[in-house]
Structure 1
Amino acid sequence: MTDHPRKVTRALLSVSDKSGLIEFARALAAHGIDLVSTGGTAKAIAAAGLKVSDVSDLTGFPEMMDGRVKTLHPKVHGGLLAIRDNAEHAKAMKDHGISQIDLLVVNLYPFEETVAKNASYEDCIENIDIGGPAMIRAASKNHDDVTVVVEPSDYQSVLDELATNKGATTLTLRRRLAAKAYARTAAYDAAISNWFADQLKIDAPDFRAVGGKLVEALRYGENPHQTAAFYRTPELRPGVSSARQVQGKQLSYNNINDTDAAYECIAEFDAKRTAACVIVKHANPCGVAEGSNLIDAYRKALACDSTSAFGGIIAMNRTLDAETAQTITEILTEVIIAPDATEEAIAIIAKRRNIRLLLAGSLPDPRAPGLTYKTVAGGLLVQSRDNAVVDDMILKPVTKRQPTDAELRDLKFAFRVAKHVKSNTIIYAKDLATVGIGAGQMSRVDSARIAARKAQDAAAELKLAEPMTKGSVVASDAFFPFADGLLVAIEAGATAVIQPGGSIRDDEVIKAADDAGIAMVFTGVRHFKH
């Protein structure tokens, strides 16, 4: 690739984000570059005392139709698309009075931000940029001759090249900026098309586009030989993508995945109702509890499986306080995420420099609609988020014995947790805390056994007379296909069960529960999570 420089003589600037605009325009003018602009951008540049021509002077047409038509004109697109070394193009420019445009600076109408503000349908439509994407695509196509900039963070790169190359840019920079520009318009169109699908209640549009803005390139992916990067999508859902990292080294791919799992789980627990803590390891909760305060919830969650909690991710549903922060730092912890933290808690965590502390501002709404995406070979699986909440479900008792109020409270707690554990899932819970978790097994009976065994291990570590599964309740994310998994739970000491129901052998499972004298309720809702 010949890195031939192209001198910039004329720049067209049209931006909605005016951060750094005046400094950039002033630097361009210092290189003797003629400035052409539109609307508010032209006014801002002129107000700074810089010479600027309005695009209407270039085209000979005024802005019209509330600004919808201003740059869609041959004198703009001809100036962007003309191949400078092509004699026919040069003749067309001369014959039609078209002047070349060597630098295009455009950032688009704030459509994503407008949608995020829950603006009206009409306002969202008016914030769909037409001329901007058209110019960006034109300039990007002709990157051999034209430099295109779509966000202020690239202003300095352009100025550096102009300074180094006597007012010119290199092909290397122009190609990089063109690639970025196409990605920006693709992400912009993805946001618009997905918004339209949502507005029209189309669950399966003929084309599905996904776009995002780079948050940061990551050191590696799930494993060191894999590359990875983290992108933020237009969906403004509180969590790891929106959180402020107060301290700690860069989040890894696995940190981000695990932290998201922890924060989505903790969102099931209304902070106004209860304090709650979730501890996650490898995207699965290994301890979850409610308590009278955060430190109580943390200690109960840790008691479930302190071995797995070592080096885990901790999520809180309330402002992290100093006492809880101090207790957390007693074991190795990778990430703590909470809506907020006191200054005292932040100072305590600061003494453990390797702990990443994230403050998300608020909790995501577990009932909110949204989409989730998963790649398969040559394809993309898209589904609505699992926003079913146990508080909204009608629980149907199916056994002779009804659950007690205390059992019902724990059953709902266990089913909240089951929603966020990889299938097949079995959760033992007692006194609003998990006491055994079985996750991700091919057989549900194996999940029941593993969860019971973990409870035995925890009892030995805590020097308890018996496992906490004695007198517990059990939740299953999907129906029991046979009675065997239920029988394991009964043997472990469970006295009540919550499950979706719907198996052809429900009668067999219900009979096993009745024979053991335990209570069982059906939710009618399954929580598979793969």
Structure 2
Amino acid sequence: MTAHSQPLRRALLSVSDKNGLVSFAKGLYELGYELISTGGTAAALREAGLPVTNISEITHFPEMLEGRIKTLHPAVHGGLLADRAKPEHMKAIAEQGIQPIDLVCVNLYPFAAVISKPDVSLEEAIENIDIGGPAMIRSAAKNHAAVTVVTDPRDYTWVLEEMKAHGGETTLATRQKLAARAFTHTARYDSLISAWLSARFQVEEELPEIFALSYRQAQKCRYGENPHQKAAFYVADGITEPCIANAKQLHGKELSFNNIYDLNAALETAKEFSEEPEAAAVIIKHANPCGVALGRTAAEAFRRAREGDPVSAFGGILALTRPVDEEAAEAITGKNTFFEAIIAPGYTPEAIPILTERKGWGTDLRLLEVGDLRGWREKAAGTGLDFKRVTGGILAQTPDHLVVSRADLKVVTERAPTEEEIQELLFAWRVVRHVKSNAIVFTKDRQVIGVGAGQMNRVQSVRLAVAQAGEKAKGAVMASDAFFPFPDGPETAAEAGITAIIQPGGSKKDQDTIDVCNRYGIAMVFTGIRHFLH
């Protein structure tokens, strides 16, 4: 490698993520750049045979406080911030013996990765809050008229190619683009620290006056809800709760926008049953559960979930609370079935070939692994707010994780539900909270047999559930996500043969509804809790 007797320019490199570092630094050196570096970055470059100037040789001040102070110095920031178009700036740094720095390559301490560890300590997290790195990035980005700032290893190749094509320099357009990315990088970093410390120290109200959102792009989608819309999937850092954001795709083509949305709906519904001794299966179509059931095995749960509405199940999304074994895989790939994607805690080695080699759709089937679902509520505690976007702003609310138990049920009819009916009502209640309002769910023997979703009036949702359930409605129970404003809904269900109802109560016409139930011998309980899902 040829040495340069008089470097034309200077590059400061200090990175935690060293992917691609050596090849990028080599390219800079070959373009005539003096390489300035710190700590582990300098060691990595020397190990690769590249000449490196230690930052302490520039600052004439040793690194101290275990590396907390090394680049916070006028010799660094003067070289970054001096406006090359202003003679007085250049004179000022020359008088202090400060030379300009033309390129900064910095990425920050891995705070996101550290706080993602389940056993992370406060001390470890604090030590991974970068101070000097953001300061250098911001200085370089502010002075992008003259300084190139690179914060993402994915940019190394194209930046280097441009520099080779332009005599060792980048274009102003590129420096502007990189500067915008750099400020996004530091803003995301700071917002992540803010959110984590606020939750840890409980320094904010549940709904703070100001908050910053931090998400990184996990993938681009081919399109959005419709082909004419562009879309991408962004995920938060530091999430340990099992969810679509940290699921691992094992097989199949890229997930679409609608796949991701429906997979989330399927998994969130399945998590309601993660602590059950039996397996649970959930089939989602257009964000609504069309099939939910418990079974002794994953295969049995799947079969029973599909039986609830086999027509709607075709082409849906499947979630299970237990690993997919050979028996379940055989059932899933049976005749007259097709699924876009499956998400489960895991898959046995015998199951994957059965799922992926099914003629006609195995190669397209997406398989996602999310890990053990048990204990998810503890992991979800304090993880943030639930958001819905409106034009010009967002609505924020605490997540709807409230659990209703038998102790919360208030019997309001002459007939109290049997023990079996209570268990069935609680099962139906856990499903109805995941159905778009106005939501009605009929269940029988821990199997969803009828759903009415998203209707403009509640009695129409009841009618849809009755039509789907058919003869199975006899002896079934009904759950409603909100109160009945009129008794026509319960009366329609009663005529179909349901024996028990669970609903929040609270309508001015509650007594009319109670009277209908008493007339038909139906047991009804109030929860006092509403579960609208818009």
TM over 0.5: yes
Q: Using a 3 Å threshold, how does the CA distance of structure 1 residues 526 and 272 change in structure 2: closer, same or farther?
A: closer
Q: 1:93 offset after TM fit, Å?
A: 2.3
> Which SS does the other structure have where 2:417 is aligned?
coil
> Which SS does the other structure have where 2:355 is aligned?
helix
Q: 1:475 offset after TM fit, Å?
A: 0.8
Query: Residue 223 of structure 1 aligns to which amino acid in structure 2?
Result: N
* Stretch deviating more after TM superposition (228-237 or 114-123): 114-123
1:354 aligns with: 364
Q: Using a 3 Å threshold, how does the CA distance of structure 1 residues 190 and 8 change in structure 2: closer, same or farther?
A: farther
Q: Distance in 1 between matches of 2:96 and 2:216?
A: 39
Contact kept, 8 Å, 1:8 with 1:103, in 2: the verdict is: no
Q: Distance in 1 between matches of 2:262 and 2:505?
A: 30
Q: Distance in 2 between matches of 1:517 and 1:529?
A: 30
Q: Using a 3 Å threshold, how does the CA distance of structure 1 residues 106 and 405 change in structure 2: closer, same or farther?
A: same
Q: Distance in 2 between matches of 1:438 and 1:251?
A: 28
Q: 1:167 offset after TM fit, Å?
A: 2.9
Contact kept, 8 Å, 1:197 with 1:205, in 2: the verdict is: no
Deviations 1:500-530 (A, max 9, x none): 2233333332232222212122222221111
2:225 aligns with: 222
Q: Distance in 1 between matches of 2:351 and 2:28?
A: 48
Q: Distance in 2 between matches of 1:8 and 1:217?
A: 39
Query: Residue 445 of structure 2 aligns to which amino acid in structure 1?
Result: D
Q: Using a 3 Å threshold, how does the CA distance of structure 1 residues 136 and 393 change in structure 2: closer, same or farther?
A: farther
> Which SS does the other structure have where 1:529 is aligned?
coil
Deviations 1:369-419 (A, max 9, x none): 332111112111111111112348622222222222221221111111111
Q: 1:169 offset after TM fit, Å?
A: 2.6
Q: Distance in 1 between matches of 2:127 and 2:395?
A: 31
TM-score between both structures, scaled by the size of structure 2? 0.91
* Stretch deviating more after TM superposition (371-380 or 10-19): 10-19
Is 1:420 the counterpart of 2:424 in the alignment? no
2:462 aligns with: 448
Contact kept, 8 Å, 2:406 with 2:422, in 1: the verdict is: no
> Which SS does the other structure have where 1:468 is aligned?
helix
2:44 aligns with: 44
Is 1:29 the counterpart of 2:29 in the alignment? yes
Q: 1:66 offset after TM fit, Å?
A: 3.8
Q: 1:486 offset after TM fit, Å?
A: 1.5
Q: 1:280 offset after TM fit, Å?
A: 0.5
Q: 1:478 offset after TM fit, Å?
A: 1.6
Q: 1:41 offset after TM fit, Å?
A: 2.5
Q: Distance in 1 between matches of 2:438 and 2:268?
A: 19
Q: Distance in 2 between matches of 1:235 and 1:523?
A: 34
Query: Residue 208 of structure 2 aligns to which amino acid in structure 1?
Result: P
Is 1:525 the counterpart of 2:526 in the alignment? no
Q: Distance in 2 between matches of 1:41 and 1:102?
A: 18
1:463 aligns with: none
Q: 1:191 offset after TM fit, Å?
A: 1.2
> Which SS does the other structure have where 1:241 is aligned?
helix
2:404 aligns with: 390
> Which SS does the other structure have where 1:206 is aligned?
coil
**After superposition, where does 1:42-441 map in structure 2 within 5 Å?**
42-118=42-118, 119-198=120-199, 199-200=201-202, 201-236=204-239, 237-270=241-274, 273-329=277-333, 330=335, 331-351=337-357, 352-363=362-373, 365-366=376-377, 368-369=380-381, 370=383, 371-391=385-405, 394-441=408-455
Contact kept, 8 Å, 2:329 with 2:354, in 1: the verdict is: yes
Deviations 1:224-258 (A, max 9, x none): 22111111111423222222222222211111111
Q: Distance in 2 between matches of 1:122 and 1:135?
A: 24
Is 1:486 the counterpart of 2:487 in the alignment? no
Q: Distance in 1 between matches of 2:56 and 2:516?
A: 81
Q: Using a 3 Å threshold, how does the CA distance of structure 1 residues 235 and 443 change in structure 2: closer, same or farther?
A: farther
Q: Using a 3 Å threshold, how does the CA distance of structure 1 residues 86 and 354 change in structure 2: closer, same or farther?
A: same
Q: Distance in 1 between matches of 2:394 and 2:350?
A: 45
Contact kept, 8 Å, 2:59 with 2:76, in 1: the verdict is: yes
Q: 1:127 offset after TM fit, Å?
A: 2.3
> Which SS does the other structure have where 2:246 is aligned?
coil
2:15 aligns with: 15
Q: Distance in 1 between matches of 2:222 and 2:436?
A: 26
Deviations 1:321-347 (A, max 9, x none): 223223323322111111111222211
Query: Residue 229 of structure 2 aligns to which amino acid in structure 1?
Result: Q
Q: 1:488 offset after TM fit, Å?
A: 1.7
Q: 1:40 offset after TM fit, Å?
A: 2.9
Q: After the TM superposition, list the runs of 4 or more consecutive aligned residues in structure 1 that deviate by more than 4 angstroms.
A: none
Deviations 1:420-450 (A, max 9, x none): 1111111100010100011111211111111
Q: Using a 3 Å threshold, how does the CA distance of structure 1 residues 395 and 235 change in structure 2: closer, same or farther?
A: farther
Q: Distance in 1 between matches of 2:38 and 2:511?
A: 73
* Structure 2 gap ranges (5+): 1-6
Q: Distance in 2 between matches of 1:46 and 1:492?
A: 79
Query: Residue 505 of structure 1 aligns to which amino acid in structure 2?
Result: K
Contact kept, 8 Å, 1:287 with 1:301, in 2: the verdict is: yes
Q: Distance in 2 between matches of 1:401 and 1:81?
A: 79
* Structure 1 gap ranges (5+): 1-6, 457-466
Query: Residue 137 of structure 1 aligns to which amino acid in structure 2?
Result: R
Deviations 1:79-101 (A, max 9, x none): 22223343232222212222111
Q: 1:48 offset after TM fit, Å?
A: 4.1
Q: 1:59 offset after TM fit, Å?
A: 1.7
* Stretch deviating more after TM superposition (151-160 or 273-282): 151-160
* Stretch deviating more after TM superposition (263-272 or 445-454): 263-272
Contact kept, 8 Å, 2:281 with 2:301, in 1: the verdict is: yes
Match of 1:477 among 461, 475, 481: 481
Q: 1:8 offset after TM fit, Å?
A: 7.3
Q: Distance in 1 between matches of 2:63 and 2:146?
A: 27
Q: Distance in 2 between matches of 1:496 and 1:397?
A: 11
Cα root mean square deviation, aligned: 2.2
Contact kept, 8 Å, 2:406 with 2:426, in 1: the verdict is: no
> Which SS does the other structure have where 1:420 is aligned?
coil
Contact kept, 8 Å, 1:197 with 1:203, in 2: the verdict is: no
Query: Residue 147 of structure 1 aligns to which amino acid in structure 2?
Result: T
* Stretch deviating more after TM superposition (361-370 or 96-105): 361-370
Query: Residue 359 of structure 1 aligns to which amino acid in structure 2?
Result: E
> Which SS does the other structure have where 2:84 is aligned?
coil
Query: Residue 325 of structure 2 aligns to which amino acid in structure 1?
Result: D
Q: Using a 3 Å threshold, how does the CA distance of structure 1 residues 309 and 489 change in structure 2: closer, same or farther?
A: same
Contact kept, 8 Å, 1:271 with 1:318, in 2: the verdict is: no
Contact kept, 8 Å, 2:115 with 2:238, in 1: the verdict is: no
Instruction: Report percent identity of matched pairs.
Output: 52
Contact kept, 8 Å, 2:223 with 2:257, in 1: the verdict is: yes
> Which SS does the other structure have where 2:185 is aligned?
helix
Deviations 1:95-124 (A, max 9, x none): 222211122111112222232225333433
